[in-house]
Every structure is written in C-alpha cells, then in structure tokens.
Chains A and B, each alone.
Chain A
Amino acid sequence: MLDWQSLATYNKIGFHRFGVNPRQMSVESSEIELLNTLDPQAITDIHNRYYPEIYRFARFRVSDEVTAEDIAGDVFMRLLEAVHNSHGPHSNLRGWLLRTTANIVNDHFRKLYNHPKEDSSEVLETSSDLYLSQSDPVVISDQAERNELLQSAIDKLTDAQKLVITLRFGNRFSLEETAQLMGKKANTIKALQYRALEALRQKLGSGLI
C-alpha cells in the first residue's frame, strides 16, 4: 500500500524539512486561506495553477482523455466540498490535490475491474475505425494497445511505485519534488523508481498483465 501516512505527515510538517522554498510555502498558505473563504478569484487562480498537473496525472494513468477530464474535474469538486466542510488542506494544497487524484484514479480502476468492459481486442478493432483518416492507423492502434498494456501494468504496481512513476513520468516532477510530495528521501524515490520500472519490464516481458 502507498504510504499515504508519510504524505499526511509531510502535509503536517510542511516544506521546510525538505528544503522547500519558503516563498512557495507562503504563496500556498495564502492560497489556502483565500480558498477557505471560497473566494472566486482564489479558486480561479488555484484552478489555473493546478488543473494541468492534475489532468496530466490522471491522463498518464487512464487510457482516454474524457475520463481524465472527469477525474480532474472531480478533484476540484472534492476540494470545494472538503473546504466547505472544514476538511480541506491546511498547508499542502498541491499534495492534497494529487493525493485526491490518485485516490480517484484508483477508484476508477476498482470500478473497472468490478465491471469489466468487453474484450479489449474488440475495442481496439472498433477504435481503429476512428483513425481511418490518420496517415498510419495501424501504427496508432498498436501504440494505443501498447499504452493500454502499460497502464494496466502500472496499475498492478504497489501504490508507492505507481505514484513515483506517475509523478516522475506523467508530471515530469524532479526527484526532489517527488520526494517532497511523498515525504521520502531522494534515494528512496530512486530505489522505488528502479523497482517500479523493473516490475514493469518483467510484467511486459512475460505478458503477465
């Protein structure tokens, strides 16, 4: 399981311990303060600032754009509800948003496994029709299939490994940023990253997806 406790601990501790820019922390604190009043300008700023990150996080994990959009939208709705019910973030807004995104993505896959779609080969066959106007639909289709396999493989990693892969590859976060968000040391993140890629290699190589 993902060590969300660490993330929570990190949220409480704040940025100083991990060498985060105090100015950034100050900006985020004032953002949260304004967010708690449900100030429209503050909400707009927060949305503009974090929506791309949240969308990329979701899009990296799910196979289609619309689902990623839904997930990103849901994250902000949950943020408002949490703030309204006084359960919103106290210090680490970005961490809160990404953690919530990860939870929603996990829920999405859980539902997907509980209610499996039709055979993926059929889906691909059908979806290939959409690319008839593209220059090389077969290639695109192969890539789409490869991506689905990869996403499926990622979903079978541990929660910590999933998070490291998503933050590093999906969001292009640096090692330090990822370490900050997960409340771990950089070396731990490197090790997690290595183990995650190794696990993916094995899954993709053996076809155990």
Chain B
Amino acid sequence: MNQRLIDALERCMELLETGLPLEDCIKKYPDLEPELREILDTAEDVMHLRQDRVPHEAMNRNRIQVLSHANFLVTDSKRKTVISGENWLVKPIRRIVNGISSLSPFAGRLGLVVMITVLLILFSSGLVITSAKSIPGDSLYPVKRAVEDISVRLVPIKEVRSEYEFNYSQQRVVEVKRLIELKRVQRISFEGILESMSSTSWIVGGIPINIDATTTVVGGHDGVQSFLPGMEVEVEGITNTQGWVRATEIHLREYEYIGMVDKITANYWEVSGIQFLITAGSQIDVGIREGDDVTVLVRSQDNGLYALAILHDVHPNATPTIPQLNLTTPMPSEVPELTTEEDLQLSGILDKISGNYWVIGGQIFYIVGDTHISDGINIGDTLSVNYRVEANGSYTGVEIEKIENDEHPDEYQPQETPESGEEGDNHEANIVTTKVDGETEESTSTPELQRSPEATDAH
C-alpha cells in the first residue's frame, strides 16, 4: 500500500473540509494525481451523503419520549423495591438457572421448566390449602368452590361422589353460620332441612331465615303449601348483621308427591301429569303399573324433577327406601323377631317429617290415620315411639310422644351412635325396644330412659 497516497488523501480531505477546491489539493501531489483524483472524487461523493441539519422537532419529540420513559422506569423501580420480597425466591432461581445454562443451554431450559412446574405445584397446593378456610366474599372462595367441583367430578364411584356432595352441602351451611357470626352481609345459597316455619321466619339447617313479600318460593305443586318441616330446601338470600338470612328465593328440593301413574318409560314416569326423571339410583317398588296410586319422593333440580323413590301408596305393602337416611339406627333385620300384633317402643331424635312417614332416630315410621301424635313436636326433638312391625318389615307408628328433656336433664341421655356404647350390643345401647301390651320380650338397655316418666307413663 502506498503510504504517501494514504497520507495525501488524509491531507486533501482536511483541505477539502476547509473549502479548498479539489483541483488545488491535487496540484499539491502531482506525482499521485491520477490515483488521488479518483479516490478524492469518491470522497466528494461520500461527503454529499452528509446531512448536517438536525430536525429539532424530532429531537424535542424524542427528548420528551425519553424523559417519559425514564420516569416510567423510575416508578417501576420503586414498585419493584416495594415488592422486592420476591427476590428471595427469584434471585436464587435465576442464579441456579444461569449456572445450569452455562453448562448447557438445553439443560438450562430443562431446569427452568422443571423449576416452574415445581413452583406451580407448590403454589397451587398452598392456594388450595389456604382457600379451604375461605367463606363467601373472600377472594379465595372461588378457588375453594372450584376445587370442590373438580374433586366431585373426579370421583368415579357414585356413592363416594354423593358423600362428597353431601359434605360440601354441609360445608355451605357452616359457611353461612360463620358469615352470620361475623355479621357480614353477603349473598349466599345453601341447602338444609326445613326445621320449622311460620309466616315470616323459617329455620333451615339451624339458620334463621326471614321470609317477606319479595321472597320467591319455588317447588312443589301447591306453592308454599307444599313446604312442610322435614323437607329439604335450598335457600338463596343475603346474610345480614342482625344474625339471620333474608331469603330472596327458596326452592323445595326434596318432597313427596302423591298421584296416579299415567305413563312408565325407561327415562321418566308420568304421575298425575307430572314427569319425573328416573336415574339408576331411583328406588321403585316392584309391581307398580300404570293406573296405580303412588308416592313419589321427588328431588327438584334446576334441570328437572328426579324421582328418588316411587312407592306404592297402599300402605303397609310399601317398603320405604330413602337412600340418604340410614346407618346409625337398626335396620329391620336387626330388630329382634317380633310378631306383628305386638307394639314396640323406641326413642330417638326426630330427623324428618314427611307426608306419610317420619324419620326418628334414622328409622322410618309410617304415619297412619290412627297414629297418635302429641302436640308441639319439632324437628330435633327426642321422641318416644310406640310402633308395630308390619308383615313386610316396615314400621307403623302407633303413638309418638315428645320426651321433655328439660324436666329431667340429669336423667336423659341423648341417643348416641352405636360406636359410643362400649358395653354389650350397640343396638341395645341406643334403642329401647319393649313389648308394650304384653310381657317384656326385649330388655331395655338405657336405664335413664327407663326412668323417664314419658316412657313409663305412656302405657
């Protein structure tokens, strides 16, 4: 490379910048003229590309943008400082990932994916645990309900699923009670047994409900007349600070319907003009034909009426079967063999009152025209029942009386679960079975109850 030419080019460029004409510059290096001229011509062309003018409008506009962005970054920094608590987690992870990445980019990506997955699992588990204690109105409550919904859907066994649904239904009641305790005003919905009812207030699942002119009552076939204590209802309403729920809507969920069978199909039965959907869980008495009178135990859902059971309405041939009521009380097979002519006695808590049967201590007793029932009986009361066993194993109530606990608080022990009795037969520990109008055939196992004046005075 010709160093003189390079130096001459630089010198000429400097002179050209000062305004010296090209020819004058070239004259200074006559021996280099041809090469220098060619390259200076090119340099002159390149100089024409230069734009000295700076658009000040654009510059000012950009300055504003830059200052605005700087302001945003400052604000962002402050925000990050406030939530810098995340750094205890993010920074170590970033270091680990960077460390792995330096070994292998693939391993880095894989490590990152694994870490994110682990964090998601940990986070979601924590969320689920935390949400379990939430009540309506809490931010995590939707998570709790979603988890419940998913867990119900994931259970493959129908019985277990029903148990889950029942437990979650109970949970709703607990939540409403908690809201009332906290005096929170919150829109709620829950299902429970209608325990008592007056014109302005009902008690459902132990929760006082206020009924007013705006409350919509849905279900049954006689409006509010269809509602009776012992039926299962769904309440929609708003909790208030006075300790009760103002009901906006009450749905009758489970009730009885008596009618004549119009039509029988695989999917539904039509009884006195009303269609009831049949499921695999529907209990249907054998031998029912079109034209028979039946009692339908109805479950009212938003998508239709489901027949929980369809029973012959000709008592006592019907064998009542209610799937959700059982277990802690003796089944007919557990009751000692008795003749149908003899009356027996049993005491227990009144769980449910239905049109033609009551559930006492978990056992169903049919109520017939000559059943004597004392006044003032409510759901939850402890009752003494004289009953007889029919040929088909069902029980018919003969006399039902309330045991006044308050008069003998020390003498009466409420019915316990069979597991709680450690001595002798569990059945004996809970059920008082006596032969009323003859010599005693079965012993009683609850001394306190034997001393109860109601138990002895009854007969």
Interface residues of chain A, those whose CB is within 8 Å of chain B, are 38, 40, 43-44, 47-48, 51-52, 55-56, 59-60, 65, 68-69, 72-73, 76-77, 80-81, 84, 143, 146-147, 150-151, 154, 165, 168-170, 172, 175, 190-191, 193-194, 197-198, 200-201, 204
A194 touches which one: B5, B54, B66 (CB < 8 A)?
B5
For A147, list chain B residues within 8 Å (CB): 48-49
For B122, list chain A residues within 8 Å (CB): none
Cβ of B400 under 8 Å from chain A: no
8 Å CB contacts to A: which residues of B60-85?
62-63, 65-67, 69-71, 73-74, 76-77
Closest to B35 in A: A198
Contact in complex: B51, A56 (CB < 8 Å) = yes
Q: How far is the CB of B11 from chain A (nearest CB, A)?
A: 10
List 6 other contacts, CB 8 Å, given A43-B67, A197-B9, A201-B38. A40-B67, A47-B63, A146-B48, A172-B17, A194-B5, A194-B39
Q: How far is the CB of B75 from chain A (nearest CB, A)?
A: 10
Interface residues of chain B, those whose CB is within 8 Å of chain A, are 1, 5-7, 9-10, 13, 17, 38-39, 41-43, 45-52, 54-55, 58-59, 62-63, 65-67, 69-71, 73-74, 76-77
Closest to A73 in B: B62
For B66, list chain A residues within 8 Å (CB): 43, 47, 73, 76-77, 80
For A65, list chain B residues within 8 Å (CB): 51, 55, 58
Closest to A201 in B: B42
CA distance A154 to B49 in the complex (A): 11
Q: How far is the CB of B93 from chain A (nearest CB, A)?
A: 18
Contact in complex: A150, B45 (CB < 8 Å) = yes
* Known contacts A47-B66, A172-B17; A198 and B45 CB within 8 A of each other: no
A80 touches which one: B7, B38, B47, B70 (CB < 8 A)?
B70
For A81, list chain B residues within 8 Å (CB): 73
Closest to A72 in B: B62
Closest to A41 in B: B67
For B62, list chain A residues within 8 Å (CB): 47, 51, 69, 72-73, 76
For B70, list chain A residues within 8 Å (CB): 38, 40, 43, 80
Q: How far is the CB of A39 from chain B (nearest CB, A)?
A: 9
- Ranked 7 nearest A-B pairs via Cβ: A201-B42, A69-B58, A73-B62, A59-B51, A52-B54, A194-B6, A84-B73
- Count A-B contacts at CB 8 Å: 117
Sample 11 A-B pairs with CB under 8 A, ordered by A number: A51-B63, A55-B54, A55-B55, A56-B54, A59-B51, A73-B62, A80-B73, A169-B47, A194-B1, A194-B6, A194-B9
Closest to B2 in A: A194
CA distance A198 to B1 in the complex (A): 12
Contact in complex: A44, B63 (CB < 8 Å) = yes
Closest to B59 in A: A51
* Known contacts A69-B58, A170-B50, A194-B6; A146 and B67 CB within 8 A of each other: no
Q: How far is the CB of B18 from chain A (nearest CB, A)?
A: 12
Contact in complex: B49, A60 (CB < 8 Å) = yes
* Known contacts A55-B54, A194-B1, A201-B42; A40 and B63 CB within 8 A of each other: no
Contact in complex: B39, A197 (CB < 8 Å) = yes
For B63, list chain A residues within 8 Å (CB): 44, 47-48, 51
For A80, list chain B residues within 8 Å (CB): 66, 69-70, 73
Closest to B52 in A: A56
CA distance A169 to B46 in the complex (A): 7
Contact in complex: A200, B42 (CB < 8 Å) = yes
For A56, list chain B residues within 8 Å (CB): 50-52, 54
Closest to B47 in A: A169
For B9, list chain A residues within 8 Å (CB): 190, 193-194, 197
CA distance A207 to B166 in the complex (A): 87
For B65, list chain A residues within 8 Å (CB): 73, 77
For A69, list chain B residues within 8 Å (CB): 55, 58, 62
Q: How far is the CB of B43 from chain A (nearest CB, A)?
A: 6
Contact in complex: B77, A44 (CB < 8 Å) = no
Closest to A76 in B: B66
For B7, list chain A residues within 8 Å (CB): 190
CA distance A47 to B5 in the complex (A): 39
* Known contacts A40-B71, A77-B69, A80-B66; A60 and B50 CB within 8 A of each other: yes
For B47, list chain A residues within 8 Å (CB): 169
For A143, list chain B residues within 8 Å (CB): 48
* Known contacts A47-B62, A55-B54, A73-B62; A170 and B42 CB within 8 A of each other: no
For A154, list chain B residues within 8 Å (CB): 46, 49
For A68, list chain B residues within 8 Å (CB): 51
CA distance A175 to B10 in the complex (A): 9
For B13, list chain A residues within 8 Å (CB): 168, 193
